[in-house]
Amino acid sequence: MIIVEGLSKRFGDLVVLKDINAHIRKGECVALIGPSGAGKSVFLRSLAGLTRPENGRIFVGGTDITRRGTDLDRVREKMGMVYQGFHLFRHLNVLDNITLAPRWVKKQSRERAQERARELLSLVGLTEKARSYPHELSGGQQQRIAIARCLAMEPEIMLLDEPTSALDPTMTREVLVIIRKLIKMDLTLHNITNEKNYDLDESKKKIYMDEGGIYEEGTAADIFEHPQKEKTRAFITRLSTFNYEIHSLDFDMVSMNAQIEVFCLNYHMTSKQISRIQLVLEELIMEIFKSCSADRQPDMAFTIAYAEEADEISISLTYRGGNFDPFRYAGAKDDLDHLGMVIVGNMVKERQHLFADNRNRLSLKLKNKG
Domains of the chain: residue spans and CATH: 1-78+189-234 (3.40.50.300), 241-366 (3.30.565.10)
* pTM beyond 0.85, yes or no: no
Per DSSP bridges, beta strands 79-82 and 63-64 are unpaired
pLDDT by 10s per residue, the chain, length 370: 899 999 999 998 888 999 999 998 888 888 888 888 888 999 999 999 899 999 999 999 889 999 988 988 888 888 888 888 788 999 999 999 999 999 999 999 999 999 999 999 999 999 999 999 999 999 889 999 999 999 999 999 999 888 887 777 677 777 888 888 887 887 788 787 766 554 444 447 888 898 888 999 988 778 877 888 888 887 877 777 888 999 888 889 999 999 899 888 877 788 899 999 999 999 999 888 887 765 677 889 999 988 776 778 999 999 988 898 988 866 555 555 667 788 888 899 999 999 998 899 999 999 876 5
Q: List the beta strands (DSSP E) in 193-272.
A: 205-210, 213-219, 241-246
Distances (CA, A) of 75 to 28, 154, 223: 18, 13, 32
**pLDDT reported for residue 277:** 94
Q: How many CB atoms lie within 10 A of CB 194?
A: 19
